[in-house]
Structure 1
Amino acid sequence: MAALGNRVARLVLPLLGTRALHTSQGNPAAKVAVVLSGCGVYDGTEIHEASAILVHLSRAGAVVTMFAPDIPQLHVIDHSKGEASQESRNVLAESARIARGEISALSQLIAQDHDAVIFPGGFGAAKNLSSFAVDGESCHVLADVQRVLQEFSKVKKPIGLCCIAPVLAAKVIPGVEVTVGQEEEQGGKWPHAGTAKAINALGGKHCAKEVHEVHVDKTHRVVTTPAFMGHVPLHTIFDGIGAMVSAVIKLTGK
Structure 2
Amino acid sequence: MAKTRKIAVLLAGCGHLDGAEVREAVLTLLALDQHGAAFQCIAPNAPQFHVINHITGEPVAGAQRNILEESSRIARLGQCLDLAKAKVADYDALVMPGGYGVAKNNCSFAFKGADAEVRPDVAAFVRGFFDAKKPVGAICIAPALVALALHQVDDSATLTLGNDAGVAAAMGQLGQRHQNTPNAREIVIDEAHKLVTTPAYMFDDARLSDVFVGIERCVAEVLKRI
Q: What is aligned with 1:201? A: 173
**Residue by residue, what CA displacement relative to the aligned partner does 1:119-148 show, whole Å, maximum 9, x if unpaired?**
100000000000111111100001111101
Matched residue, 2:105: 128
Deviation string for 1:151-192 (max 9, x for gaps)? 100110001101011001111222111101124xxxxxxxxx
Question: Is 1:175 equivalent to 2:156 in the alignment?
Answer: yes
Alpha-carbon offset, residue 203 of structure 1: 2.0
Structure 2 letter corresponding to 1:95? S
Counterpart among 192, 212, 225 of residue 238 in structure 1: 212
1:51-90 equivalence runs, <5 A: 51-86=26-61, 87-90=63-66
Rg larger for: 1
Percentage identity across paired residues of the two chains? 41
Pick aligned residue for 1:248 from 219, 222, 226: 222
RMSD value, Cα: 1.2
Aligned structure 1 segments of 4 or more residues deviating by more than 6 angstroms: none
The corresponding residue for 1:228 is 201
1:11-30 superposed matches below 5 A = 29-30=4-5
Alpha-carbon distance in structure 2 between the residues aligned to 1:172 and 1:35: 14
In structure 2, the residue matched to 1:160 is: 137
Q: Is the 8 A contact 1:28 1:63 kept in 2?
A: no
Q: Render the CA deviation track for 1:75-98: whole Å, top value 9, x for unaligned.
A: 000001111002100000000000
Aligned amino acid, residue 93 of structure 2:
A
Unaligned stretches of 5+ residues in structure 2: none
Q: What stretches of structure 1 of length at least 5 have no aligned partner?
A: 1-25, 184-192
Shift of 1:28: 5.5
Offset at residue 227 of structure 1 (A): 0.2
Query: For 2:122 and 2:196, how far apart are their aligned partners in 1?
Result: 17
Structure 1: how far apart are the matches of 2:201 and 2:104?
17
Q: Is the 8 A contact 1:171 1:203 kept in 2?
A: no
Letter of the structure 1 residue corresponding to residue 124 of structure 2: R
TM-score when normalising by structure 1: 0.83
Report the equivalent of 1:143: 120
One of 69, 73, 77 as aligned partner of 1:93 = 69
Task: Name the TM-score, length of structure 2 as normaliser.
Answer: 0.93
Give the secondary-structure state (helix, strand or coil) at the position aligned to 1:150. helix
- Looking at structure 2, the residues matched to 59 and 229 of structure 1 have their Cα atoms a distance apart, in angstroms, of 24
Matched positions, count: 218
Structure 1 window deviating more from structure 2 (131-140 vs 35-44): it is 131-140
